[in-house]
Structure 1
């Protein structure tokens, strides 16, 4: 699914701290996220350390030290997944945009109050549950309004998971089908959110090889996931 990729540089963020959303020109969404994770002043060294931190280290920095930029980095890594997931469930761009803003606000309020072993998984299920609640609320509202069955929203079937959720669950198996080089670069660049330079540093590959592994890995991963979705 490709709805166009918008790249936004939030004022006050260190250069390169973009949040990616599958909505072009959505300044309302960007403004809301800016208000949620406006960063404090930091040295170049502190920024570098935070950029390379794990998800849980960023959560700790936000919760214990009130480092709002830490939350911004987490949104940078996973914001586009929330938008895509909401769009898969709600089938409506405006509704997905609104749901994404609501999810981000919930994350800001809840992330410090729950034991989290994997921020990615927690964010994913928080987003999923919020979208399911929206669908069920819409069903109740339609039923209360006396809409007939042909106009009513179809009851959400927990077994009919959106493609993005199916793919997330199948990702480990699909990555196993790639070459070791491709899988390593995919994990570091997309799942851990590292830059090209950081991937080169961790793998020992030069930039040309990293880009090649990512390009071929994306293509092979897409093919494998599509096959698995129909099995």
Structure 2
């Protein structure tokens, strides 16, 4: 009951008044009041940076647990923005500690570059095989596939250019694709 009466007495004070009161008298009611006012904001900021709720809760408790020491060391003009900066710094420290247990970034970059080079080589090999496979198609299939895929012509444009029926163009492309797939699969290493 005594705490609640004193609590109400301090509840109407501004953030700066509470901080001043703590600095002058080391009043124990100030930190819980600041927690009531800003605990949810600190938790939200921690959650934004740390992503895991448990880590955010731990960081919030650590921040408010050390708040009295930080209040004594710093001159605070705007408590809310100062607390945000303290929270952000604490989260960044937490993330840095976490990263020291992970692979260094330069190793990740090297692995990514190596992976990209391997993918590029693999694509080049497949394209070379595809070029070889196209040469093994019947003339009509090869020409239709080249016009459709390499020159981006429509079925209708191919039909008009080669002076063949539209259905013949469609079946030549479909049969050509099937024959390419068969040839590529039979020539895999």
TM-score (norm 2): 0.52
Q: Measure how far apart 1:112 and its partner are.
A: 1.3
Does residue 110 in structure 1 map to residue 74 in structure 2?
Answer: no
Q: Report the Cα distance in structure 1 between the residues aligned to 2:37 and 2:77, rounded to whole angstroms.
A: 17
Alignment match, 1:38: none
> What is the CA–CA distance in structure 1 between the aligned matches of 2:88 and 2:2, rounded to whole Å?
30
Aligned structure 1 segments of 4 or more residues deviating by more than 6 angstroms? none
SS in 2 for 1:141: coil
Aligned Cα RMSD in Å? 2.6
Q: Which structure: greater helix fraction?
A: 2
Aligned to 1:77: 37
Deviation (angstroms), 1:47: 4.2
Pair 63,12 (structure 1): closer, same or farther in 2 beyond 3 Å: same
The alpha carbon displacement at 1:129 in A equals 0.7
SS of 2:19's equivalent in the other structure is helix
Cα distance per residue 1:162-196 (max 9 Å; x no partner): xxxxxxxxxxxxxxxxxxxxxxxxxxxxxxxxxxx
Q: TM-score, normalised by structure 1?
A: 0.43
In structure 2, the residue matched to 1:25 is none
Shift, 1:140, TM fit: 2.0
1:107–1:123 contact (8 Å) kept in structure 2: no
Task: Give 5+ residue unaligned stretches, structure 2.
Answer: 110-189
User: What secondary structure, in the 3-state scheme, does the structure 2 residue paired with 1:115 have?
Assistant: coil
Other-structure match for 1:177:
none
Equivalent-residue separation in structure 1 for 2:2 and 2:40 (angstroms):
21
- Please give the alpha-carbon distance, in whole angstroms, between the structure 2 residues aligned to 1:83 and 1:142: 25
Mapped contact 2:45–2:88 kept (Cα < 8 A): yes
Q: Could you tell me which of 108, 112, 117 is aligned with 1:149?
A: 108
Correspondence for 1:122: 82
SS in 1 for 2:16: helix
User: Which consecutive unaligned segments of at least 5 residues does structure 1 have?
Assistant: 1-10, 15-43, 151-231
Q: 1:134 — aligned with what? A: 94
Paired with 1:53 and 1:134, the residues of 2 have a C-alpha distance of 33
State the number of aligned residues: 109
Which structure would you say has the larger Rg? 2
Give distance in 2, aligned partners of 1:101 and 1:48. 23
